[in-house]
Each structure stands twice: as structure tokens, then as C-alpha cells.
């Protein structure tokens, strides 16, 4: 490149002061802190200077005005990116209801209100208001949990992985835990039953085969070092075909015969029989308690539909021991979790209204006609936004539950299918992800698919506008 070209390019660049005097930058200054805008101008100018010095050609028709325009546009982009939180809302058009990467369960309106209130006000988190004595942060949750599940006692920690760690670390440290080879679950890469057990100090004794484990396999493995029999719910896979799982009832019988506690890591603890809504039945927490399981652990933000939390219910004598374990302090829940979880659990006290109240249950049980209507509404808005630049039609598809829950469930859903005349579905998908608001979508058979099951009605206009922007 000629020396002239870059000399000319550098000469065209405005100064910081000139840029700050521009009317469009003045608009930014009215909204954003001055230091942020000044810094953005500097960053934009430095970026442009670097591009020129690295030999990027300066367009022939570039003049001082168009160069200023360019810097102003860049400045606005930098400011907006900086002002935007790194953690921000995403529109989930994937149809995956419990999407771990997108934050799993959405809170109910009551839970949202409870979090806001408790987060911005002092509370009786660890104070007994009747006596003035020091209280326990678990106290608001225990009575609701025991009354809903039928268990004697309950405790809540940071997440289910922590619940398993605390339970095993308390009841089986340096002793043996018997578990079926068919239940050595890995959940999302970071939670593997064998590894969590190693962390807890318990020794794993694997019994049976991947597809078959008989009651006798457990009996034969029991010796004087055995502390506990563990059942792990195969939340995110199913073993089908030639199989035999020792049932929880059988495990409880063995536990009683050998005076050993039986624990179940239930994963996504459902408090509602979902088969009533045409979904595959998952064992409910109540069923596990009724079967005599001594300790049950499950997540707060899977099928329960609440905040991230690990819930432990079971016999008082075991839960009391966990309450005295110093590890509890390291995995304790904060006040916002307590608030959100109490409000979520209270929704279950009204069986008639719980499905409407909890977004997760609402999405999972949405009727075909409701989904179709939402898809038709979205399609109409998208057609208005894209004109004739893309084909837009409503079709049928399947949603999955996600988050290691109901792996065998394929829920019939309604989708909006978009075929751009110029851009591939993959490119549209990544542009939508990078947009503001960010949108997560699916690609299938060369088309972009928006599954409306996980899109809230109030998000439809913003979703259509986002699509209009990228097409």
C-alpha cells in the first residue's frame, strides 16, 4: 500500500474533542456516563488508526465527514456493548424447557416477587421473631417441604451436587457405598456419581451389570464397612431392553434387614405426578418417601420449577447429622434462594393452580391448540418483519424437557419455520444468538426453527423484531 493512502487515512480521523462535539455523541452523553463515552471514542479512534497502519485500504471516497460518521457509529456500538450486562436475558426458542445453559427453570411470579422483596430489605433470615433468638435459615423451608413430601425432616443447600456431597460426606465418610453399575450417572460433564463420591470421602462399591442389578448383588456386597445403599435416578438416559433394576422397595427391604440407610439421588425431584398430563411418569418425591427411602436428594431448578438449590428430605436422625456437618456452611443457600424456594413450594400447596403458577409446569403441559395459536401469532409478526425476504410457515415438531429430566419424553409442539432467500439457517442462527436481545433457536433440515413452547407471549414482538433485524 502506498504511503500516501495511510497518511491520507490518518489525516481524515477526527480528534477526540471533535467527536465528542457531534450531536449523535451528545445523545450518548445524555444517557451514559461521560467517562464511558470518552473512553469509547478513544477505543474507536485507536481501532481505526490501527486498521489504517496495518495496511487496510482507505476507501477512495472517504472524506472527513464519512470518517467522523464511522467513528461515531463505532463509539455508539462500544458504549452499548459496555452498558449491557454480561449476564442478560435470552429468548429461548429452542423448546428445551430446562436448558441448563440458559438457566434452567424460570421462576413463578410469586417467587420473583419474593426474591425482589427479600433481596432489598432486611429479613428474619436467621432470627426467630417470636423469641428474638438466633434462628436457622432452613426453618422457613422445612415445614413446607415435610408437609409436601411426607418426610420427617428437610434441608436445603446450594444445588443437588452439593446435597449428594453433604449426604455422603456425613453418612459414609471413609466407608463404603453400594451402587448399581447401571446408575453411575454423569450429568452435564461436571457431575459424575463416582467423582462426587470420591470427593465426599466415601468408597464406591459397584454391583451388578449395566443392564441388570438384582437384590442379591447388593446383599453380597454388604460387609462391616458398608455405610449406605445408594440409588441414583437415571435422569438423563434410559436403559431399555433386557434389564432388571432393583426397585427402591427392594432396596429399602435390604436396608432394613442390614440396618443400613437407603439414599436416593432423585435428580429432578418432581412433586407432581406428571403422567396425569400425558408426560412419562417420573418417580415423585412423595412416592420415594412413602417407599421408605431414608434420604432423598433433588434439584430445585429442574422439574420442581424453582431456583437453583439442592433439597434433602428424609429421616430426622440423618438430616440432623448433616445439619451439624461443617461442610453445610460451605454449601449453604443464600436468602434469595430461600425466598424463591419458599414461594415456589407454596405454589404446590394449591394443587389446582400449581400448573398455571409455575412456568416450567405451564410450558411442559401447554396444550397443542395453545402452542399452535402462539406459533400463528409469531408467524404473523415475523412475516410483517421480514416481508418477502424469507418463507415463514407454522409446522409441527417435538420439544425435549432437558436439564436431565424425562429423557424419553418427546413433546409434540408447534414451530415457526423460517427459510431465508439469501442466508443459510446456520448463519441466521448464529446472528440471532449474537443479537440484542439474544435468541437461541434450532436448525433442522436446512430451516431455522423457533419452538414457541419456551417463548413467553410477552416476548413474541421482540423475537419477531430480532428476526427482522438479521434477515
Ligand X SMILES: *Cc1c(COP(=O)(O)O)cnc(C)c1O
Which residues are near ligand X by CB under 6 A?
Answer: 159-161, 185, 187, 191, 232-233, 235, 265, 267-268, 299, 310, 404
Q: How far is the CB of 197 from ligand X (least distance, A)?
A: 12
State the nearest-atom distance from the C-beta of 188 to ligand X, in Å: 7
For residues 332 and 370, which CB has a smaller minimum distance to ligand X in the complex?
A: 332
C-alpha to C-alpha distances, 73 to 2, 48, 103, 213, 272, nearest whole angstrom = 27, 12, 33, 65, 53
The nearer residue to ligand X, 48 or 265, going by C-beta atoms, is 265
Q: Left if phi > 0, otherwise alpha if psi is -120 to 50, otherwise beta: which for 306?
A: beta
Nearer to ligand X, 156 or 450 (CB): 156
Whichever of 14 and 404 has its CB closer to ligand X, that residue is 404
Residue found by looking up cell 412423595 in the block: 286
- What is the closest distance, in whole angstroms, from the C-beta atom of residue 299 to ligand X in the complex? 3
C-alpha cell at 402: 432437558
Distances (CA, A) of 64 to 12, 56, 175, 268: 5, 17, 77, 61
Cα 100 to Cα 160, 189, 250, 353: the distances in Å are: 14, 12, 33, 26
Cis-peptide into 437, omega within 30 deg: yes
Q: Supply the minimum distance, in Å, between the C-beta of residue 233 and ligand X.
A: 5
Of 20 and 327, CB closest to ligand X: 327
In this structure, are residues 451 and 397 in contact, taking their beta carbons and an 8 Å threshold?
Answer: yes
CB closer to ligand X out of 300 and 357: 300
Task: Work out the burial of residue 456: count CB atoms within 10 Å of its CB; fewer than 13 is exposed, 13-18 middle, 19 or more buried.
Answer: middle
Shortest distance (Å) from residue 146 CB to ligand X: 21
**Under 8 Å CB-to-CB from 251, ≥6 apart: which residues?**
215, 218, 229, 231, 262
The length of the chain, given as a count of residues:
471
| Least gap, CB of 185 to ligand X (angstroms) | 5
Q: Which is nearer to ligand X, 41 or 331 (CB)?
A: 331
In 3D space, the residue among 421, 467, 408 whose CA is nearest the CA of residue 440 turns out to be 467
Measured from each CB, the residue nearest to ligand X is 267
- Closer residue to ligand X in complex, CB, 49/192: 192
Nearer to ligand X, 187 or 339 (CB): 187
Grid coordinates representing 340 are 424463591
CB of 280 to ligand X, least distance (A): 15
What's the min distance (Å) between Cβ of 86 and ligand X? 22
Q: Could you give the CA distance from residue 413 to residue 140 in angstroms, rounded to a whole number?
A: 38
Instruction: Dig out the grid coordinates for 172 from the structure.
Output: 459414609
State the Cα–Cα distance between residues 285 and 267, nearest whole angstrom: 10
Taking the least distance from each CB to ligand X, the nearer of 301 and 342 is: 301
Rounded Cα distance between 263 and 245, Å, is: 15
**In a 10 Å sphere around its CB, with 0-12 CB exposed, 13-18 middle and 19+ buried, how is residue 311 labelled?**
buried
Q: How far is the CB of 301 from ligand X (least distance, A)?
A: 7
Amino acid at each position: 500500500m502506498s504511503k500516501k493512502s495511510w497518511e491520507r487515512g490518518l489525516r481524515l480521523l477526527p480528534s477526540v474533542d471533535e467527536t465528542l462535539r457531534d450531536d449523535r455523541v451528545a445523545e450518548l452523553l445524555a444517557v451514559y456516563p461521560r467517562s464511558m463515552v470518552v473512553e469509547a471514542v478513544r477505543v474507536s479512534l485507536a481501532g481505526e488508526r490501527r486498521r489504517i497502519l496495518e495496511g487496510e485500504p482507505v476507501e477512495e471516497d472517504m472524506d472527513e465527514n464519512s470518517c467522523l460518521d464511522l467513528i461515531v457509529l463505532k463509539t455508539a456500538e462500544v458504549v452499548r456493548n459496555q452498558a449491557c450486562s454480561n449476564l442478560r436475558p435470552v429468548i429461548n426458542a429452542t423448546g428445551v424447557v430446562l436448558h441448563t445453559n440458559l438457566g434452567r427453570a424460570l421462576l413463578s411470579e410469586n417467587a420473583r416477587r419474593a426474591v425482589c422483596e427479600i433481596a432489598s430489605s432486611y429479613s428474619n433470615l436467621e432470627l426467630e421473631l417470636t423469641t428474638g433468638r438466633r434462628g436457622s435459615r432452613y426453618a422457613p423451608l422445612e415445614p413446607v417441604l415435610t408437609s409436601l413430601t411426607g418426610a420427617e425432616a428437610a434441608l436445603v443447600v446450594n444445588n443437588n451436587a452439593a446435597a449428594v456431597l453433604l449426604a455422603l460426606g456425613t453418612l459414609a465418610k471413609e466407608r463404603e457405598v453400594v451402587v448399581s453399575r447401571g446408575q453411575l450417572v454423569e450429568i452435564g460433564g461436571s457431575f459424575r456419581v463416582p467423582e462426587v463420591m470420591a470427593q465426599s470421602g466415601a468408597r464406591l462399591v459397584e454391583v451388578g451389570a449395566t443392564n441388570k442389578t438384582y437384590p442379591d448383588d447388593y446383599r453380597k456386597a454388604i460387609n462391616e464397612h458398608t455405610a449406605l445403599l445408594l440409588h441414583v435416578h437415571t435422569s438423563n438416559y434410559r436403559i431399555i431392553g433386557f434389564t432388571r433394576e432393583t426397585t427402591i422397595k427392594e432396596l429399602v427391604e435390604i436396608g432394613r434387614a442390614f440396618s443400613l440407610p437407603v439414599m436416593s439421588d432423585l435428580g429432578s425431584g418432581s412433586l407432581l405426578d406428571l403422567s396425569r398430563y400425558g408426560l412419562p411418569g417420573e418417580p415423585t418425591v412423595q412416592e420415594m418417601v412413602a417407599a421408605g427411602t431414608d434420604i432423598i436428594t433433588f434439584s430445585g431448578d429442574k422439574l420442581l420449577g424453582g431456583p437453583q438449590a439442592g433439597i434433602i428430605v428424609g429421616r430426622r436422625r440423618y438430616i440432623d447429622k448433616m445439619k451439624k456437618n461443617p461442610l453445610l456452611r460451605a454449601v449453604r443457600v443464600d436468602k434469595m434462594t430461600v425466598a424463591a424456594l419458599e414461594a415456589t413450594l407454596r405454589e404446590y400447596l394449591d394443587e389446582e393452580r400449581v400448573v398455571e403458577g409455575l412456568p416450567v409446569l405451564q410450558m411442559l403441559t401447554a396444550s397443542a391448540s395453545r402452542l399452535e395459536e402462539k406459533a400463528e401469532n409469531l408467524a404473523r409478526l415475523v412475516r410483517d418483519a421480514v416481508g418477502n425476504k424469507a418463507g415463514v410457515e407454522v409446522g409441527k415438531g417435538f420439544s425435549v424437557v432437558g436439564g436431565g429430566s424425562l429423557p424419553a419424553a418427546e413433546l409434540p409442539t408447534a414451530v415457526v419455520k423460517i427459510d431465508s432467500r439469501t442466508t443459510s439457517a446456520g448463519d441466521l442462527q448464529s446472528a440471532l444468538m449474537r443479537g440484542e436481545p439474544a435468541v437461541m433457536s434450532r436448525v433442522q433440515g436446512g430451516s431455522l426453527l423457533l419452538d414457541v413452547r419456551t417463548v413467553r407471549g410477552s416476548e413474541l414482538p421482540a423475537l419477531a423484531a430480532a428476526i427482522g433485524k438479521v434477515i
